């Protein structure tokens, strides 16, 4: 790993830390506004909306400029989204703007790895990136819950600038200042990300042709025997992960009787497990063996269904850590394999854009279903069991599809082939 890679990691850490802290600050703001519970999943939905709407365009944009510059522009958009809340813009709209910045950011963040590193280092690099991202989720989750707690709010509002009226008078505004500071720090690191010198064909400017090009890239990846399996797994993982965050928050409140700031730590506990699983996977699973981890996804779905039986915090911690470990262990090799196949079959930016489209469409779908079930007042334990069954069943179907592919042709021989 070289110096440029560590600069990318630092930029990604602080940007992701701010994203996750802002999510929980926004949830607290909705609660203070007495918004209905069904708006909470819609908050996450508003964030990922632009990943889907802009999928055909952000890949081309990421390939048109040096990746560090793209990430810098994206962080400026995120800062603007935070500023909107100061002007009393509704949290759903402001957080959607931050999601717009994140959608621009993502193809550059992952695409630069394939430009900077050889294929054999992608699993290790993804292990580092995912581990660091999950660490930022843990800290961001805890930070978001802490920033809106009474003690932290009182401490932050106690800061005064001599002779200047900052206009920061509420706990939310104080928390937002901390989040914006993290985005600014990430932007500074973006300026030091090296230009890899990777050059692509000039991007198409006609939006119709861009959409057609994106559709062709998407079809290429879904038809590829390795691409379709890894894309299906990561698509399920991110949809399930986003929904699980909200399920754990609600479960902590209903079953464990925890206040909001304590409930956010349980979301962080899942992320601790993901970090451990990602680190272990990066160390012991080579790219050639990446598909052997699929059964762990089935196991994760089955174990999630144990949650309704747990009513003690002492039992909740090891259960959530185990769920996280299984998640992290199977998603890192799948992510690396998907990036490798995308790099072989098309450009880095286009590949990540296809990945983002599918993953975030999964998030939109699963969050919409969760919001509908919440609005129907469906029992939380029933929701958890349905969630676990859907994850385990989908992973089982993916495993069967891979076995059918292998019976026709050894697709594993494609791993490591050179760019087309």
Q: What was the pLDDT predicted at 352?
A: 72
Q: What predicted TM-score, i.e. pTM, was given to this entire model?
A: 0.74
pLDDT winner (highest mean) among 72-76, 101-105, 214-218? 72-76
Whether the pLDDT of residue 179 is over 70: the answer is yes
CB-based contact 328:276 (threshold 8 Å): yes
CB-based contact 13:134 (threshold 8 Å): no
Here the tokens at position 93 are 């709209």
CB-based contact 47:96 (threshold 8 Å): yes
Q: Kindly report, residue by residue over 87-122, the tens digit of the pLDDT.
A: 888 889 999 999 999 888 877 776 677 777 776 676
Q: Kindly report, residue by residue over 21-69, the tens digit of the pLDDT.
A: 898 888 888 888 888 877 888 888 888 888 888 877 877 777 777 888 8
Long-range contacts of 173-179 (CB under 8 A, 24+ apart): 173/86, 174/147, 175/21, 175/25, 175/144, 175/147, 175/148, 176/22, 176/25, 176/82, 176/85, 176/86, 178/21, 178/143, 178/147, 179/18, 179/21, 179/22, 179/25, 179/82, 179/147
Identify the residue with better confidence: 15 or 131.
15
Here the tokens at position 11 are 């930029």
Select from 53, 115, 58 the least CA-distant residue to 342. 115
Determine the straight-line distance between the first and last CA of the chain, rounded to whole angstroms. Answer: 25
Going by pLDDT thresholds of 50, 70 and 90, the confidence category of residue 163 is very low
pLDDT winner (highest mean) among 90-94, 288-292, 408-412? 90-94
**Rounded distance, CA 321 to CA 179, Å?**
27
H and E: helices and strands count for the chain = 15, 0
b vs e for 225-245, b when ≥16 Cβ sit within 10 Å of the residue's Cβ? bbbbbbbbbbbbbbbbbbbbb
| Residues 350-377, mean pLDDT to the nearest whole number | 84
Going by pLDDT thresholds of 50, 70 and 90, the confidence category of residue 73 is very high
């Amino acid at each position: 790993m070289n110096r440029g890679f560590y600069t990318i990691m630092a930029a990604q850490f602080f940007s992701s830390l701010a994203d996750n802290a802002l999510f929980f600050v926004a949830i607290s703001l909705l609660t203070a506004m007495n918004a209905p519970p069904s708006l909470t999943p819609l908050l996450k939905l508003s964030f990922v909306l632009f990943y889907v709407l802009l999928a055909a365009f952000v890949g081309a944009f990421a390939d048109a400029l040096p990746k560090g510059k793209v990430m810098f522009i994206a962080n400026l958009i995120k800062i603007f989204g935070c500023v909107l809340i100061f002007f009393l813009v509704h949290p759903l709209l402001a957080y959607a703007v931050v999601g717009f910045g994140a959608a621009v950011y993502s193809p550059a963040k992952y695409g630069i790895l394939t430009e900077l590193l050889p294929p054999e280092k992608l699993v290790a690099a993804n292990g580092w990136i995912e581990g660091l991202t999950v660490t930022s989720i843990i800290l961001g989750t805890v930070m978001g819950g802490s920033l809106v707690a009474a003690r932290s709010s009182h401490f932050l509002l106690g800061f005064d600038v001599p002779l200047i009226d900052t206009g920061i008078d509420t706990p939310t505004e104080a928390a937002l200042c901390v989040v914006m500071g993290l985005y600014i720090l990430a932007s500074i690191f973006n300026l030091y990300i090296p230009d890899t010198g990777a050059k692509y064909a000039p991007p198409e400017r006609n939006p119709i042709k861009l959409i057609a090009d994106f559709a062709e890239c998407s079809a290429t990846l879904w038809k590829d025997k390795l691409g379709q399996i890894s894309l299906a797994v990561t698509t399920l993982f991110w949809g399930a992960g986003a929904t699980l965050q909200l399920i754990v928050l609600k479960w902590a409140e209903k079953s464990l009787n925890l206040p909001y700031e304590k409930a956010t730590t349980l979301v962080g506990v899942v992320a601790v497990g993901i970090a451990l699983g990602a680190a272990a996977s990066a160390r012991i699973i080579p790219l050639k063996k990446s598909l052997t981890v699929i059964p762990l996804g089935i196991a994760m779905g089955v174990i999630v269904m144990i949650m309704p039986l747990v009513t003690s915090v002492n039992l909740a911690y090891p259960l959530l850590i185990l769920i996280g470990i299984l998640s992290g262990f199977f998603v890192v090799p799948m992510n690396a394999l998907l990036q490798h196949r995308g790099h072989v079959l098309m450009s880095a930016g286009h590949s990540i854009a296809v990945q983002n489209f599918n993953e975030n469409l999964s998030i939109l779908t699963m969050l919409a279903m969760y919001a509908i079930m919440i609005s129907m007042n469906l029992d939380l334990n029933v929701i958890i069991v349905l969630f676990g069954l859907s994850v385990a069943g989908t992973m089982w179907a993916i495993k069967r599809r891979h076995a059918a592919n292998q019976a026709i042709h050894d697709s594993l021989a494609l791993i490591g082939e050179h760019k087309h």
